[in-house]
Structure 1
Amino acid sequence: MGKTPVKKEKKQGFGRYIKWFWGLFFGGVLLVVLLFLLASWGAFGTMPTFEILENPQTNLATEIISSDGKTLGKYYLNDNRTPVAYDELPDHLVKALVATEDERFYEHSGIDAQGTLRAVVFLGRKGGASTITQQLAKQLFTEQVANNIVARVIQKIKEWVIAIRLERQYTKEEIISMYLNIYDFGYRADGIRSASRIYFGKEPRDLKTEESAMLVGMLKNSSLFNPLKREELTWNRRNVVLRQMEKNDFLTKEVKDSLQQLPIKLNFSAESHREGLATYFRMYLQNFLKKWTEDSKNRKPNGDKYNIYLDGLKVYTTIDSRMQRYAEEAVSEHMKKLQAEFFHQNTPDRNKTAPFLGLNQEEIDATMERAMKQSDRWRKMRDKLGKSEKEIRASFKEKAEMTVFTWDGEKDTIMTPMDSIRYYKFFLRTGMMSMEPQTGHVRAWVGGINYKHFQYDQVKQGARQSGSTFKPFVYATAIDQLHMSPCDKLPDVQHCIEANKYGNLTPWCPKNSNGKYTGKMMTLKEALANSVNTITATLIDKVGPVPVTQLVRSLGIESDIPPVPSIALGTPDFTVYEMVGAYSTFANQGVYVKPVMINRIEDKNGTVLFESVPETKDVMSEEVAYTTVKLMEGVTESGSGARLRNKWAVNNTLYKEVITGYPYEFTNPIAGKTGTTQNQSDGWFMGMVPNLVTGVWVGGEDRAVHFRSITYGQGATMALPIWGLYMRKCYKDKELGISTEDFRKPENLSIEIDCSKVSEEHTPEELNFEEIDF
């Protein structure tokens, strides 16, 4: 009788434990549900709305794209990010990501229950529980929190809620691409596209399996697994990824073993605003885009301005990356040799005022003073640091560590800022632009020798005296107004234009470059080929300077052109940009097409925001344009540009290396004109084939920085070799389709251009002219 109550108590006690167990279980479930609900309601901090989930906000760099589909560069502040779609990712990259970061990615809905349970039981010792979707949620919508368990738990709950929402909103493929696009791989490599280009110099689709494995390995911690600083650690991490790929049957053991033996091979190139391809053009384009965004007509649908650093615009340019590269290579190859000769001629024992010629000490001091006050250092110390002029001047005399430009790479040195100003004035500068005359599409733009150290753009900003490159405008006016022919003759005798005839205050009696006159009758073709000043003076006297200036204005040149006779010899200052546009009219049958640099601008979704419309103008008849072209062909056949066709025999070794070491030997029709200004301060060459017009200028920053003699200082020596090297590279690349044909001849041409029957033509040796105009 006494034992029965004891059994009841035991049964009741056991049942109580069961009730407590289920109570705690369901209470825990309800608590988790409540926590999820509270998190989703924003009790633990702001949560993203449906609209934000639909369009996550990430900063996107503006991308500059060449006409052949290559990325020339980007504009960004902190985030160098350009997103790529899932179908642009290689299969092995996706498999490496899934195998390493989330093996059950395609099975769960944002939270991996199995992984979470394992992480709780083993306290994370056997791997974490974050899925790819949770990692994306953390990157997109949550911030790092203080290192305490309560805050971390709340953050994890928020990540779970957001991850579930993301899984409902996006496909698995979209989640993968979003995650890879947002991750920071270091060195301004924001997202997989930038990482592929910066670490390996290629697009994501071109990555090799072992390269994809390295980048996926960096996802664990890009600062720790840094291939530039910790190559061995990164190599080991990459091999872990490859092992995971084998484990998940994405690689065979044999392939995995062979890939694990490979070293890490980088092709690292930081995407800097001051380095890379087409730097000067990119800076011009940046200023254009800033002005474009300021225009009230160019606004977002909500009325806000576009931000070129954050909004992910795509700018499709006319620049051809291949031609741009050839142009930059040609500039580097020639300017390095030319600069070596300039240094050779301006050692202290040869020129005590180097790099200046023809200046006294007072003039040199004034030049250096002007350069000092125009320097970035002066402006920064005055405007940002608030230093007095006395303090600023003193700082320019204090030695400091600095990195300077040399043609053999940057060099660390110690010198005063004032000495560095003078050092940089030794370097010759250049500007080069290449354009299709029929479309106006600019294919190459080289504004200088190195943008990082010489930021003044000699294509669009730097206007310099045009020299004899102006003469074709005078000849074209004479052909148009007087119906003159290349075969017409004029005497090579001194020609004077009396004072006040055309607004000139004094009589103008220009000399030939050698100060001599042959007294012979010369055809216009001979005269232009050999840049005979007297005959150019005769022509502008016949037509008057006003019609010449009117023609030049109609050719798109906006620089100041006074209507006086001396313009015939190239006294006005023009930019390379203006000259290429003007000369293109001759190659385009008399139709001027304004240079075009941008085809279109799109927003991040591909909506076209801007599309270029060609600006054209009929300037001269086909007959006048063609006749002028035939005149300029004489320059490369028997004039100052003839070295494009021949190997010149020169005894001077240095001269031969700088000038004639390039075996051009072009045989196709080429029209062109060299130009050299007084004291050899400016050297020009304008060269044309039917579908490409290219202009080159070379000179010092200051006009007093120049070669002593015409041998090196003429346009045929300073500028023409760059054109020749560039065109040789372009012709070698058959895909470019650069023309080797004749210029198009107009139907019913009434002007005689065949001078073969004209007697008394003279050879360049007989004429003995050198190219210099003053």
Structure 2
Amino acid sequence: MKKQTKLKKRSWLGILIKLVLFGALLVLLFIGSIYLEVWGKIPSKTELSDLKQAEASLILDRNEDLLGKYFVFDRSIIEFKDIPKYLVNGLVATEDARFYEHEGIDYKSFFRVFFKSVLLQDDSAGGGSTITQQLAKNLYGRKNHGLFSMPVNKISEMIIASRIEAIYDKDDIIALYLNTVPFSENTFGIESAAQRFFNTTTSNLSLSEASTLVGSLKANHSYNPRLFPERSQFRRDVVLQQMEKYGYIDEATRLKESNTPIEIDYHKFTYNEGLAPYFREQVRKQVSQVLDSINSADDTEYDLYTDGLKITTTLDNTMQEYAEQGMISHMERLQTQFENAYGAHAPWLKNDELIQEVVQKLPEYKRLQAKKLSEAQIMDSLRKKSKKPLFTYEGDTIMSISTIDSLKHYLKFLNAGFVAIEPQTGAVRAYVGGVNFEHFKYDHISMGKRQVGSTFKPFVYTAALESGLEPCAYFSVKEITYTDEEGWTPSNASDGEDDPYMNYSLETALSRSINTIAVKVLEQVGIQPVIDQARKMGVVSDLPEVPSLALGTAELSLMELTSAYTSYVNESVPSRPYFIEKIEDKDGRVLYGYKPSTPLDAAYSEQTRETMIEFMKATINEGTAKRIRSTYGLSNDMAGKTGTTQDNRDGWFMSITPNLVMGSWVGNDDHRIGFSSTGIGQGANSALPIVANFVSRLNNNNDFNSITQAKFKTPSDDVLEALDCDPDKRDGFFKRLFGKKKKEKAFGE
């Protein structure tokens, strides 16, 4: 009996041994099948030795501070030398304590995970992956193999990890890992994470900040320091405890850091958000053109979104912040003023013809129309409510609203543009193309053209001076009806200019923006000479050959107009605006460098230039732009010109300082919707405050003293003598009694 029992035990033992051997054989065969790439390709050592990851291209301002990025994956590559030692220590202590002891695979952790997680289905076993295995996962991702997904992927990563360790040293592996690992909010790599959450570089991360980012690797959403600060701080403290446990920091350091709250400085680099989105879009277009040219000429394949290019621009980040702040703070107040002035009779509410015309341009309307729906059916569909995000100055909000009501909501918004150009070079220092890029993509600096109103008058007066007209030439303010222009009678916006016997000098007429005199000056000089003068100043848009040109019926872009004004402080030569200083590849090789094109010829004489500056200084000091002094208290040396178009549709303000020329425009994108009154819509009220807010902020920053404290050169004695006259004079008694009574004439008569 005992003998039979022993035989049975031996039999079961033999079966068990065979089963174990068979199981081991199956495991070896399984591992071998993975190694032989039955389950999919595994990168070779040759491929691993030439790792190339998609890397975000960086947009830098003039001081090489980060402005934004272009990317498929938000990743910026850094070298090991730029990684603080405590960041490396925190990573090793938390993610792979035996990192410097193994060669890519920590077998102790592996077998723990294999038996507990794979065989026993125990989720508490942990991941068991080394930093090198995690790097393999970051580089090549994981594939779906059904029930075999976990073992196939784990073993694949082990094979890749072993090959990586055979090629790279530990420092390189740490750098590769930190450059590829995903952090919170789909941010790849430590450099991008440092920029996004702490507005700094990896090398400047503090111990607390580094520990916070390392801690987020365990679950990058759950430990997002922006969304879950308390949870993130708890996880940071765990990282600090691990660092103390493995001797990287002492207890005193841990306690000090643990008692410090996390302070993020969040900067999101996305297409719609962040600093200067309109400018970044213009740069994107220009860089794409440059790269296309380089790739075509050199047979290269540079890609803006994946090759880690460095694009240094002309923009100044601080000036851009001031410009955006100055615009939004003013536009929010102006929007309220605009809506209150219309009240319940606003055109976006009551003008059915306007609303219907805009509705019919909607893509949704055209889609429904293509389905052969009737007009009534289309309108019923567009009146159905659904939840939509809506722009407001208080922040975006979600509302249940119909497509038509959403259209009315956006139709009411005023928009704006602001640009600041360094006149001596053409470098664009600030660029705000609209009030909100996400909701209003249209760029009001470079894309849009609107009637420029009285900002065109300096071209008329410049041409007049060039033709030999004296600065102290006087013109009557009296209205004239031009019979050959369909009885057109230009009038003045101000009731104070209605004395028909008053005569003004050119300086006074321009500073007060007197329409009747501007037309008379144009008449005396001639339309074609004025157009020729504008062309010399860089204006390329169509200019109507009509008397109303003097009042700014021409349509120009804000960039075009501002560029022309740079000539007044650039030795009479208009500068050509540019955006990009240079483009470098990720290794620092310069692919493109800005080279100034041959400058244009001087558009007018130095005497005319000095005289025009004096004319436009008077506009600021005592004319239509005097709010710069009276309301905003700015004492800067400044010249300028306001502009308001017909029916108060557009407000303009052009401002000149010795080292910066600024232009601003305000209006509704639908030109049929103007301001309800000149008091609100005039350039001095609608556009001037944007410039004033910007300059006020510059004045408070000593870094910009070269701009804010710059002075115009004293005019020559000849110019001062030519300007030495009374600003106005009234016709004497006998001239009033016996002077011409004619109030009608043909233009040019």
- Which whole-Å CA distance do the structure 2 matches of 1:302 and 1:155 have between them? 38
Which of 645, 648, 653 is the matching residue for 2:629?
A: 645
Cα–Cα, structure 1 residues 498 and 72, in superposed 2: closer, same or farther, change >3 Å?
Answer: same
- Indicate conservation of the 8 Å contact 2:698/2:708, yes or no: no
- Which whole-Å CA distance do the structure 1 matches of 2:364 and 2:249 have between them? 57
* 1:466-481 → structure 2 map (5 Å cutoff): 466-481=452-467
Q: Which residue in the other structure is 2:54 paired with? A: 59
Deviations 1:490-525 (A, max 9, x none): 3333456673xxxxx556542233472443332211
* 1:15-94 → structure 2 map (5 Å cutoff): 42=37, 45-49=40-44, 52-77=47-72, 79-94=73-88
Deviations 1:297-331 (A, max 9, x none): 43596544x44333333322211111111011111
Offset at residue 727 of structure 1 (A)? 0.4
Q: 2:355 aligned with 1:368, yes or no?
A: yes
Cα–Cα, structure 1 residues 168 and 549, in superposed 2: closer, same or farther, change >3 Å?
Answer: farther
Q: Which residue in the other structure is 1:688 paired with? A: 656
Q: Which residue in the other structure is 2:637 paired with? A: 669
Which of 341, 344, 347 is the matching residue for 1:345?
A: 341
- Which whole-Å CA distance do the structure 2 matches of 1:120 and 1:126 have between them? 9
Q: Which residue in the other structure is 2:93 paired with? A: 99
| Percent pairwise identity | 35
Offset at residue 706 of structure 1 (A)? 3.0
Offset at residue 443 of structure 1 (A)? 1.0
Q: Which residue in the other structure is 2:688 paired with? A: 720
Which of 463, 472, 477 is the matching residue for 1:492?
A: 477
Q: 2:135 aligned with 1:136, yes or no?
A: yes
Q: Which amino acid aligns with 1:244?
A: Q
Q: Which amino acid aligns with 2:679?
A: T
Q: Which residue in the other structure is 2:401 paired with? A: 415
Q: Which residue in the other structure is 2:601 paired with? A: 618
Q: Which residue in the other structure is 2:725 paired with? A: 758
Cα–Cα, structure 1 residues 388 and 244, in superposed 2: closer, same or farther, change >3 Å?
Answer: farther
Between 1:323-332 and 1:49-58, the stretch displaced more is: 49-58
Deviations 1:142-198 (A, max 9, x none): 52444656x645544433333233334434333222212212223232222332333
Which of 399, 402, 408 is the matching residue for 2:388?
A: 402
- Which whole-Å CA distance do the structure 2 matches of 1:253 and 1:520 have between them? 86
Q: Which amino acid aligns with 1:628?
A: M
Q: Please provide the CA RMSD for this pair.
A: 3.5
Per the alignment, in what secondary structure is the counterpart of residue 311 of structure 1?
A: coil
Which of 308, 313, 317 is the matching residue for 2:313?
A: 317
Per the alignment, in what secondary structure is the counterpart of residue 711 of structure 1?
A: helix
Cα–Cα, structure 1 residues 760 and 194, in superposed 2: closer, same or farther, change >3 Å?
Answer: closer
- Indicate conservation of the 8 Å contact 2:414/2:667, yes or no: yes
- Which whole-Å CA distance do the structure 1 matches of 2:375 and 2:288 have between them? 33
Which of 427, 434, 437 is the matching residue for 1:441?
A: 427
Offset at residue 435 of structure 1 (A)? 0.8
Q: Give the number of equivalent residue pairs.
A: 703
Cα–Cα, structure 1 residues 104 and 618, in superposed 2: closer, same or farther, change >3 Å?
Answer: farther
Q: Which amino acid aligns with 1:510?
A: P
Q: Which residue in the other structure is 1:766 paired with? A: none
- Indicate conservation of the 8 Å contact 1:63/1:74, yes or no: yes
Q: Which residue in the other structure is 1:9 paired with? A: none
Between 1:440-449 and 1:411-420, the stretch displaced more is: 411-420
Per the alignment, in what secondary structure is the counterpart of residue 437 of structure 2?
A: coil
Which of 650, 656, 674 is the matching residue for 1:706?
A: 674
Offset at residue 353 of structure 1 (A)? 4.2
Q: Which amino acid aligns with 1:631?
A: F
Q: Which residue in the other structure is 1:740 paired with? A: 709
Which of 557, 561, 575 is the matching residue for 1:575?
A: 557
* 1:622-637 → structure 2 map (5 Å cutoff): 622-637=606-621
Q: Which amino acid aligns with 1:368?
A: I
Offset at residue 233 of structure 1 (A)? 4.7
- Indicate conservation of the 8 Å contact 2:649/2:674, yes or no: yes
- Indicate conservation of the 8 Å contact 1:486/1:753, yes or no: no
Deviations 1:317-361 (A, max 9, x none): 21111111101111111111112222221222xxx24458xxxx7
- Which whole-Å CA distance do the structure 1 matches of 2:445 and 2:562 have between them? 10
Offset at residue 580 of structure 1 (A)? 1.0
Offset at residue 707 of structure 1 (A)? 3.0
Q: Which residue in the other structure is 1:278 paired with? A: 276
Q: 2:411 aligned with 1:425, yes or no?
A: yes
Q: Which residue in the other structure is 1:458 paired with? A: 444
Q: Which residue in the other structure is 2:507 paired with? A: 525
- Which whole-Å CA distance do the structure 2 matches of 1:252 and 1:155 have between them? 38
Deviations 1:628-668 (A, max 9, x none): 2222111111111122122xxxxxxxxxxxxx4xxx22223
TM-score normalised per structure 2: 0.85
Between 1:82-91 and 1:624-633, the stretch displaced more is: 82-91
Offset at residue 717 of structure 1 (A)? 0.9
- Which whole-Å CA distance do the structure 1 matches of 2:405 and 2:457 have between them? 40
Offset at residue 235 of structure 1 (A)? 3.7
- Which whole-Å CA distance do the structure 2 matches of 1:274 and 1:565 have between them? 43
- Indicate conservation of the 8 Å contact 1:492/1:520, yes or no: yes
Deviations 1:601-649 (A, max 9, x none): 2333333332222233123233332322222111111111122122xxx
Deviations 1:213-240 (A, max 9, x none): 1221222232444446665554433222
Cα–Cα, structure 1 residues 394 and 643, in superposed 2: closer, same or farther, change >3 Å?
Answer: same
Cα–Cα, structure 1 residues 744 and 392, in superposed 2: closer, same or farther, change >3 Å?
Answer: farther
Q: Which amino acid aligns with 1:685?
A: F
Between 1:567-576 and 1:401-410, the stretch displaced more is: 401-410
* 1:297-312 → structure 2 map (5 Å cutoff): 297-299=294-296, 303-304=300-301, 306-312=302-308
Q: Flag structure 2 segments of 5+ consecutive residues without an equivalent.
A: 1-13, 731-749
- Indicate conservation of the 8 Å contact 1:436/1:693, yes or no: yes
- Indicate conservation of the 8 Å contact 1:673/1:687, yes or no: yes
- Which whole-Å CA distance do the structure 1 matches of 2:71 and 2:362 have between them? 26
Cα–Cα, structure 1 residues 534 and 723, in superposed 2: closer, same or farther, change >3 Å?
Answer: same
- Indicate conservation of the 8 Å contact 1:39/1:161, yes or no: no
- Indicate conservation of the 8 Å contact 1:685/1:716, yes or no: yes
Q: Which residue in the other structure is 1:511 paired with? A: 491
- Indicate conservation of the 8 Å contact 1:485/1:627, yes or no: no
- Which whole-Å CA distance do the structure 2 matches of 1:119 and 1:491 have between them? 95
Q: Which residue in the other structure is 1:4 paired with? A: none
Offset at residue 745 of structure 1 (A)? 5.6
Q: Which residue in the other structure is 1:13 paired with? A: none
Cα–Cα, structure 1 residues 390 and 173, in superposed 2: closer, same or farther, change >3 Å?
Answer: farther
Per the alignment, in what secondary structure is the counterpart of residue 527 of structure 1?
A: helix
Q: Which amino acid aligns with 1:511?
A: S
Per the alignment, in what secondary structure is the counterpart of residue 743 of structure 1?
A: coil
Q: Which residue in the other structure is 1:12 paired with? A: none
- Indicate conservation of the 8 Å contact 2:339/2:346, yes or no: no
- Which whole-Å CA distance do the structure 1 matches of 2:57 and 2:368 have between them? 32
* 1:159-308 → structure 2 map (5 Å cutoff): 159-227=157-225, 233-268=231-266, 270-293=268-291, 295-299=292-296, 303-304=300-301, 306-308=302-304
Per the alignment, in what secondary structure is the counterpart of residue 417 of structure 2?
A: strand
Q: Which residue in the other structure is 1:5 paired with? A: none
Q: Which amino acid aligns with 2:354?
A: T
Cα–Cα, structure 1 residues 106 and 278, in superposed 2: closer, same or farther, change >3 Å?
Answer: same
- Indicate conservation of the 8 Å contact 1:711/1:717, yes or no: yes
Q: Which residue in the other structure is 1:8 paired with? A: none
Cα–Cα, structure 1 residues 213 and 371, in superposed 2: closer, same or farther, change >3 Å?
Answer: same
Deviations 1:76-129 (A, max 9, x none): 34x222223333333322221122122343444434466557767987978655
Cα–Cα, structure 1 residues 745 and 38, in superposed 2: closer, same or farther, change >3 Å?
Answer: farther
Cα–Cα, structure 1 residues 670 and 557, in superposed 2: closer, same or farther, change >3 Å?
Answer: same
Cα–Cα, structure 1 residues 126 and 253, in superposed 2: closer, same or farther, change >3 Å?
Answer: farther
